[in-house]
Amino acid sequence: MEIKYTQILINGEWVNAADGATHTLINPATEEKLCDVASGGAGEIEAAVASSRAALETGAWPKMDGGTRGRLLWKLADLFERDLMEIARLETANQGKPIFESSKIEVPFVASIFRYYAGWADKLGGETIPGIPGFLNYTLREPVGVVGMIIPWNFPLLLTVWKLAPALAAGCTAVIKPSEATPLTALKLGALCLEAGIPAGVVNVVPGRGSVAGQALLDARGVDKIAFTGSTEVGRTVMKSAAGTIKRVSLELGGKSPNIVFADAKLDAAANGACSGIFYNKGEVCAAGSRLFVEKKVHDEFVEMVRGKMTRYSPGDPMDDKTRFGPQVTKQHRDSVLAKVAAGVREGATITIGGKAAAVNGKGFFLEPTILTGVRNDMEVAREEIFGPVLCVIPFSDDDDAVRIANRSQYGLSGAVHSASTERALAVARRIRTGTLSVNGAQWFHVDNPFGGYKQSGVGRENGRLGFEEYLETKVIALPSEAKP
């Protein structure tokens, strides 16, 4: 396949790293080389931040009204739809996610995000403030400024656009640092921004190593806010580094989300939900339902039902439309998942199915989808993210027990409850400390639903009106007023 964009995008120009550094990308399904991509360092980040700063303060962007910005975002959505298959193939070749997911779900979702925030761009209204006689005070909503966006490898394009679309709608400018492992769709995005007519410098894209380019972005004085998705561990680094210049931060971090199944639930539907909840994107999902809590009296029956449905998630060529389960993103990540499964077994968990590396046509960083039973909530496999296709099953006795163990986690990102009694499910949902909760399979994965975490799963929200607010400052203007009340 043709890969057009492998350089760094700074101020509308495609450049190589000054020291010539590159990073080789490997297709995780075939183990073949995809291409070499330029690997930016501190110098490229400095130039990109200077470009974004200038675009924010001078040039066409700050003079543009919201309606014009909205039209540019709408145009960008059109371009994503025009190039949908090219972008989906890039994402699948680089990340390993099935083409079904990239072409039918994620790239269309990206177009809808640009359209949704296009609608917000001309609705930056403030409020008038009553109260001080002799003054007319009002608020203005203004862009937060230059935003550094640090993106992980699990949803390389989608998680970029969750940040970029509201930031552009608000009038911010951006420096995007994709994961070194998966930069291709962010680079294509940079090219489409230019084609849509977004002025040079508003969106800069610097692929490079997290510890080098990412850290330089965290430290840069010209950056006003960092929007980060990734591990809780690096999230801590983001917060600490941002403290240097009091950058605003929004963090979408790890999860260990509970999926609670009561004996009275529609078990067949709940089993489908348990599978998609852990095997979508081969388990490389922060909101994955990785802890499956099953009421004791249906535990064995339910595990068998889930197991019966897992054939749908057999490893396959991710470029095949029918495949629902691709390779892990890199060999290193595949091995880390296997090591975590082995640690779970040492702690007393049982591999009911899966638990081994796999291959398709003799190649690829595949894993068998896996169920671990006999898991206790205090085991490492239940406490820490595995970030792979590994379902940890934990029995519970009653509602209070389910709530107690579900909440016993450092994380609070997502979750699900299944029961024939909506009243019971809602009561339990209200008691779970997570940012999103699905009842009986209902869908929250949509652009107008704010997404984010409680506890160590993050700070702030993405999507919806709250996701837009993350990119705005509030200014009060105080005016003398002659008018008498």
Contact 473, 142 (CB under 8 A): yes
User: What is the closest distance, in whole angstroms, from the C-beta atom of residue 319 to ligand NDP in the complex?
Assistant: 23
Q: Which residues form the interface with ligand NDP (CB under 6 A)?
A: 150-154, 177, 179-181, 209-211, 214-215, 218, 229-231, 234, 237, 252-254, 286, 385, 387
Kindly name the residue from 106, 252, 385, 462 that is annotated as catalytic: 252
In the complex with ligand NDP, which residue's Cβ is closer, 115 or 333?
333
In the complex with ligand NDP, which residue's Cβ is closer, 150 or 372?
150
Kindly name the residue from 35, 275, 286, 392 that is annotated as catalytic: 286
Alpha helices in 285-421, H assignment, sequence order: 299-309, 331-346, 380-383, 399-407
Q: How many angstroms separate the CA atoms of 108 and 92, rounded?
A: 15
Give Dmax over CA atoms of the chain in angstroms. 83
User: What is the closest distance, in whole angstroms, from the C-beta atom of residue 212 to ligand NDP in the complex?
Assistant: 8
In the complex with ligand NDP, which residue's Cβ is closer, 70 or 190?
190
User: What is the closest distance, in whole angstroms, from the C-beta atom of residue 296 to ligand NDP in the complex?
Assistant: 30
User: What is the closest distance, in whole angstroms, from the C-beta atom of residue 383 to ligand NDP in the complex?
Assistant: 12
In the complex with ligand NDP, which residue's Cβ is closer, 162 or 262?
162
Q: What is the CA 385 to chain-centroid distance, rounded?
A: 15
In the complex with ligand NDP, which residue's Cβ is closer, 72 or 206?
206
User: What is the closest distance, in whole angstroms, from the C-beta atom of residue 155 to ligand NDP in the complex?
Assistant: 8
Phi-psi map region of 11: left, alpha, beta (phi>0 left; psi -120 to 50 alpha)? left
In the complex with ligand NDP, which residue's Cβ is closer, 250 or 419?
250
Tokens coding 297:
């009296």
Tokens coding 474:
């509030």
Strand duo 203-205 + 173-177: pairing:
parallel
Nearest residue to 255 via CA among 384, 163, 402 = 384
Let me know if 284 is a catalytic residue: no
- The string of DSSP codes covering 124-136 is ----EE--STTEE
User: What is the closest distance, in whole angstroms, from the C-beta atom of residue 128 to ligand NDP in the complex?
Assistant: 40
Q: At a CB cut-off of 8 Å and minimum separation 6, what does 163 contact? A: 147, 149, 151, 174, 227, 229, 462
Contact 323, 99 (CB under 8 A): yes
Which regions of 144-217 does DSSP assign to beta strands (E)?
Answer: 146-150, 173-177, 203-205
Report how far apart, in Å, the C-alpha atoms of 292 and of each of 4, 303, 358, 359 are: 43, 10, 24, 27
Taking each helix axis from N to C terminus, what angle separates 84-95 and 107-120, rounded to the nearest 10 degrees? Answer: 120
User: What is the closest distance, in whole angstroms, from the C-beta atom of residue 258 to ligand NDP in the complex?
Assistant: 16
In the complex with ligand NDP, which residue's Cβ is closer, 102 or 215?
215
Q: In what helix (H) or strand (E) does residue 184 lie, and over which residues does it extend? A: helix 184-196
Q: How many angstroms separate the CA atoms of 13 and 200, rounded?
A: 8
Let me know if 81 is a catalytic residue: no
| Active site amino acids | 252, 286
